[in-house]
Structure 1
Amino acid sequence: MNDLDTALLRRRVDQLVRPWEAPGSPGVAVGVLYEGELAVHRCAGLASLELEVPVGPATTFRIASVSKHFTCAAVLMLAQEGRLDIDQEARHYLPELPDFAARITLAHLMHNVSGIRDMLEIMRQGGTDLDMPVTPEELLAGICRQRTLNFAPGSRYLYSNTGFLLLGMIVERVAGESLGSFLERRIFAPLGMNRTRLTPSLQDPAPGLATGYLPRQGGGFVRAAHAFPLGGEGGLVSCVEDLALWDRNFTTHRVGGPELETALTRQIEFSGGGVNPYARGLLVRHHRGVRTVGHGGLWPGYRTEYLRAPEREVTVICVTNQGASDPYHLAHDVLDAVLDGMPEVHPVHALPPRPALEELVGRWVDRDNAATVDISLDAAGHPMGSTHGVPFRLRATEDGRLEASRAARDFTCALAADGALAVELDAGVRATYCRAVPPPTLPEGLAGSYANAEIGATWTITETGTGTGRSAELRVSGPLASRRGPWLVEPVDGDIIRIWMPGLLFRMWLDVRVLRAGGRVSGLCVAGNRARRLCYPRQEDGARA
């Protein structure tokens, strides 16, 4: 990149980070590497609103799930040395794990195809969220209560923090030292990443760490509360310069040799066919025809995007302490600033006209699988989707459909000729969603208690009112329940309901099918964003939690 191109890129990046320059705003740091050199490094906003400390080159952030590919790198380095086998069952290294009557390997964990439920969602269904103190032993106990899976290992993709917590534990057992010590000794110190560290306890000081913030309802910001322990799934603190040193390693091969990058980005096929986009702690996608490799990170008050275009020798790093910001799209906008004008870069596909988008607006229900999606238009007329309360932008695809504009891109839809919504999910799974017809009414006979031993929780639903004016709410009794309710129970379609869980990051919902035996409610079949196929039998009919 010549001096003139670099100057132009800096101005484009300056324009993109300008919103973070507002007074009293949390900050962002953006880095652009080109041909192995940090060509642009821009900082804006405040690392501490209270002390009015600006974000600078030495400011560190919690990079959350960007930590996952470092954990995978540790596993792969041990495998290179013959100290473990990634095709070995996880229970070989962690015998305390439950027997799921299925073979779950380290590779399954790294590729997010294990079917093991996400530990954070396990805790949420029991009434505990990220801002509530939990010990590592309590997290592991929640994992070990599980006896069933989201799906057969290797058949589908579903993001699960559990797998990477377990991988970090496996590294510790095989290496005979803590994960943080292994990463420091084998990766961070050799590469000069002296501001990067693993922080299992959030109580321990981390030098240079920006305070994390979330928007306050009505304006301004509040400090983000978080109390869960962190491990191989998301415990790293780092900064742009250190992540640039790590990125440079994919050229110098100082750590792990040339085979490390190949191993980290290796993809596998699902058992039913089709390639899994999730490699080993990294997602492999295409953006405007350009192959990208990267990962995002989300933790209360922090968001990160690490985005590489290896064949174009470009990497974009965005880290922020504003937990409701969108570094995924910021990073792609920065990447566009580099790619524009390069050969063989596809144009951005145009969205359908507004009338066509308006036809999609509303609530849609997959009656076969008791799944729901809400589609809306934002203030600018851009289509938005939401599943289980997690919002995402929709963008146009080459074939005229709309897909989730997020790293996983595990939701693609189009309006069919019969007025239904044709949806493609992960692993090529297809489903038909019908428009929910208002006004829905609550299923009859819902009041009662329901228990699930895998969650260790009992849910009690109470009803008020009569006829079409009936309403219901749920209260939780769980092993660590702090957010006991009431949770709103919302009718959707016949015996399909939503249960709304208040959350620190999102107001999430669970898709629930009401089960009946002899016409009487016998239980609830519950699906969350990353924890599915959970059955809550009515308490007098089934085992208590």
Structure 2
Amino acid sequence: MRNNSIILNCNSKQINPMRTYQILVVFVLVLSISISANAQTKKNGKTSPCADNKQKEALQQHIDSLVASKVSENQPGVAIGVLWDDKVWMKKAYGLMNIDQNSSIDENTVFNIASVSKQFTAFAILKLEEEGKLNLDDNIRDYLPKLPAYENVITIRNLIQHTSGIASTDVLRLFAGVSFEKQWSQQNEIDLIMSYPQLNFTPNSQHVYSNAGYSILTQIVEIVSEMKFSEFLKKKVFDPLAMSSSFVYDDPKIDLSTCSTGYKKGKDQFIPFGNGKDYTYGAGNIHTSLNDMLRWGQNIFSSSIGQDNYINKISNTYNTLNNGDTLTYTYGFYVKNYKGIKMVEHSGGDLGFRSQFMIFPEEKLLLVLLFNTESINTRRLAYQITDLIFAGKIIEEAPKQRVEITVEKEKLQLLEGDYQMPDGMQFGFDLKQDTLWLVLPGEDRYPLYAESPNHFFLKAFKAQCTFIKGSDGSVNELIWHQGGKDYKADKTVKRKSLTKEELACYVGKYYHNSLKVEYPIALQDDILTITPPSTFKTYLDFDSVKLSHLKGDKFSTDNFGLLEFTRNDANQINGFVLLDVGRVQNIRFSKN
């Protein structure tokens, strides 16, 4: 499983009208360590982390103290490396690669880098394009005619940039109830893709992360190159760059005993997690060391094994969706702006392992972090190290100062009621003891604070709403502001509670033919509840999903977003659709 922590957003609380009903509560840890801007100098027009060895040692000590505060010597840990201007500026290891053997992590310790592997898959495709053996805009069925006859043409470029619409196999396995600790081969992965022909969306109309797309890419590499994917990377990448510790874990015969063990945090101790039974590749499963990743990083800047100006290709966004929106995902990387600095990055997550790979192309600086534990917030630590390295250069956005005012009760009463967004999402506002409360499906409540009689903000998370007053003085719509986007919602008639008899018509057993799994829905204490497979309890810590009625046959859920029941010609319930769970959309179940 790759990046399982972001599959469903099931454990976050987030209003996202295009995804789920929950509220995202973001807690930001700000590390404030003062390092003089004079500690940064220019070399060849690039920002150097340090001016001299003394400043270099001081900065490295700050980084060392930061990491040591997160990782104990007798626990699983991390290997960290920094490249600057093609030179290794820092590399250090913390913690144990194997607790039982009391063996320490070092620069040659091998980790599973999970989805950071995608950059190698994309590089393999670009290498074949460079050799004139394929075109990124080729139809993937030209190479793999046995793939499902998708209703739209899907190109190689669509697979690389997660715009294909093909459902992600990690989420499909989760919904099918297939354990991530079960033996799972590349053939199992392809069989699952073949069994699920339904696309999430028209290709290139959305960007939705899909591990399946990268599994398919490796099949194209193997057909075009007439080599196994692992052999191709060894011949074209690993051997030329002297990445002697690196390999694709595609065969159960490969010995992992000398590699680091992955761990998760138990109540009183760390527990080995991830038993090496996943042999899929393309989306993940490259095993490598810090030293090897630094060698790969040097190649990214120098293009020593082909792909001239590779750094420019991965760090410049020029592809667009059908609606004209620019894609920020290039070739196995996201392109972002981090506090005023251009950043190209990708993270990885698998059972017991995490990884972070960050490039700052305009500074010619690269940061690698490889973890054999799930207990550390890897992205946060990577960003804290980045803040230390670029202290004095980064631009911290000052939080907007919001001033509360008091609004008369009569004016607040005009705002009460239920509101609905275009995709069917509903939430309400309730006045209690002179305070206006946001009420979400499932009855989560958050107080709102007024900046003006019609504009309110929340303190629990970053979001605001503006109520729109009509010419007659009534309020029938609002604009929800969150994550830099605005969403319109209209006031609706108050929800009608369904009777027990009305709810009972939804009870039954629902089956998904492709996933070969049953989802029973029962009525418990007048609440409809889905019982999903045990994989949800194992990996996301919930074993039931409650449904809250919105209108008609549409319900909100506390974990699966919007659910809509379907009816046959006789107006009888014959199934339901989970509209959007992140990496998979429109999952259709039939009533038995």
Shorter-chain TM band? 0.7 to 0.9
Give the alignment partner of residue 17 of structure 1, picking from 47, 63, 67: 67
Alignment map for 1:70-89 (pairs within 5 Å): 70-89=120-139
Contact 2:421 2:487 in 1 (8 A): no
- Match of residue 474 from structure 1: 531
Aligned to 1:209: 259
Counterpart of 1:189, as a letter, is D
Aligned to 1:490: 546
- Helix, strand or coil: the match of 1:244? helix
For 1:523, the equivalent position in structure 2 comes to 575
1:300 is aligned to 351
Report how far residue 439 of structure 1 moved: 13
Query: Residues 365 and 113 (structure 1 numbering): CA distance in 2 closer, same or farther, change over 3 Å?
Result: farther
8 Å contact kept, 1:115–1:149: yes
Contact 2:480 2:486 in 1 (8 A): no
* Structure-1 residue corresponding to 2:111: 61
Measure how far apart 1:31 and its partner are: 0.9
Quote how far apart the aligned CAs of 1:202 are.
Answer: 5.6
- Conserved 8 A contact 1:422-1:433: no
Q: 1:38 to 1:23 in 2, by over 3 A?
A: closer
SS of 1:190 mapped into structure 2: coil
- What letter is aligned with 1:132? K
Q: C-alpha deviations, 1:107-127, integer Å up to 9, x for none?
A: 000011111100111121111
1:104-503 correspondence runs (5 A)? 104-201=154-251, 204-206=254-256, 208-216=258-266, 218-226=267-275, 227-267=277-317, 268-342=319-393, 345-350=394-399, 368-369=422-423, 414-418=463-467, 421-423=480-482, 443-465=503-525, 468=526, 470=527, 472-474=529-531, 487-494=543-550, 495-498=554-557
Contact in 1 for aligned 2:263/2:270 (Cα 8 Å): yes
Alpha-carbon distance in structure 2 between the residues aligned to 1:434 and 1:328: 39
Other-structure match for 1:376: none
CA distance in 1, matches of 2:151, 2:83: 46
Q: Which runs of no fewer than 5 residues in structure 2 stay unpaired?
A: 1-49, 406-417, 428-455, 468-477
**Counterparts of 1:106 and 1:7 in 2: how far apart (Å)?**
46
- Tell me the SS of whatever aligns to 1:68: helix
Aligned residues: 477
Question: Do the aligned residues in 2 keep the contact of 1:155 with 1:270 (CA within 8 Å)?
Answer: yes
Change (3 A) 1:248 1:105: same
TM-score by length of 2: 0.73
The alpha-carbon distance between structure 1 residues 486 and 281, as it changes in their structure 2 partners (threshold 3 A), is closer
| 1:456 CA displacement | 3.2
Q: What is the CA deviation profile of residues 475-514 of structure 1, one whole-angstrom value per residue up to 9, with x for unaligned ones?
A: 5599xxx99x9941212343324375xxxxxxxx464233
**Structure 1 residue 259: deviation in Å?**
3.5
Aligned-pair identity (%): 21
Q: Distance in 2 between matches of 1:318 and 1:265?
A: 20
Structure with higher RCO (Cα < 8 A, 6+ apart): 2
Q: What per-residue deviation string (whole Å, max 9, x for no partner) do you get for residues 28-83 of structure 1?
A: 11111111111111211111111111111111110011110111101101111111
Pair member with larger Rg = 2
Q: For 1:97 and 1:462, how far apart are their aligned partners in 2?
A: 37
Residue 564 of structure 2 is aligned to residue 513 of structure 1: yes
How many Å separate the matches in 2 of 1:151 and 1:348?
A: 36
SS in 2 for 1:214: strand
Residues 487 and 433 of structure 1: CA distance in aligned 2, closer, same or farther (over 3 Å): farther
Cα shift readout 1:139-175 (whole Å, capped 9, x = no counterpart)? 2121112232111111111100011111111111111
Distance in structure 2 (CA, Å) of the matches to 1:338 and 1:438 = 53
SS at structure 2 position matched to 1:191: coil
- SS at the partner of 1:293? strand
- Structure 1 residues 29 and 453: alpha-carbon distance in aligned structure 2, compared to 1, 3 A threshold: same
Check conservation: 1:304, 1:320, Cα contact below 8 A. yes
Note if contact 1:440-1:492 (Cα within 8 Å) is conserved in structure 2: no
Structure 1: distance between partners of 2:179 and 2:495: 32
C-alpha displacement of 1:252: 2.5
Q: Residue 251 of structure 2 aligns to which amino acid in structure 1?
A: S
- SS, match of residue 74 in structure 1: helix
How far, CA to CA, are the matches of 2:63 and 2:491 in structure 1? Answer: 43
CA gap of 1:140–1:221, structure 2 versus 1, over 3 A, is same
CA distance in 2, matches of 1:278, 1:108: 11
Of 49, 54, 62 in structure 1, the residue corresponding to residue 99 of structure 2 is: 49
1:186, distance to aligned residue in structure 2 (A): 0.7
More off after superposition, 516-525 vs 100-109: 516-525
Give, as a single letter, the amino acid of the residue that structure 2 aligns with 1:335.
T
1:386-425 Cα shifts (integer Å, max 9, x gaps):
xxxxxxxxxxxxxxx99xxxxxxxxx97321137643569
Alpha-carbon distance in structure 1 between the residues aligned to 2:371 and 2:489: 38
1 CA distance for matches of 2:125 and 2:69? 39
- Unmatched tracts of structure 1, length 5 or more: 357-363, 374-400, 403-411, 501-508, 540-545
8 Å contact from structure 1 (residues 266, 280) kept in 2: no
Report the Cα offset of residue 12 of structure 1.
1.8
Is the CA contact 2:352–2:374 (under 8 Å) kept in the aligned structure 1? yes
Residue aligned with 2:91, SS: strand
Question: Structure 1 pair 476/55, CA: closer, same or farther in 2 (3 Å)?
Answer: closer
Partners in 2 of 1:368 and 1:188 — Cα distance? 50
**Aligned-partner Cα distance in 2 for 1:348–1:40:** 28
Q: Which amino acid aligns with 1:327?
A: T
For 1:73 and 1:293, how far apart are their aligned partners in 2?
15
User: Does the residue aligned with 2:548 lie in a helix, a strand or coil?
Assistant: strand
Q: Structure 1 329/535 Cα, relative in aligned 2: closer, same or farther at 3 Å?
A: same
User: Aligned partners of 1:93 and 1:429: how far apart in 2?
Assistant: 42
Determine the C-alpha separation between the residues in 2 that align with 1:486 and 1:280: 35
Alpha-carbon distance in 2 for matches of 1:201, 1:107: 28
Cα drift, residue 232 of structure 1:
0.9
* Structure 1 residues 51 and 167: CA distance shift in structure 2, 3 A: same
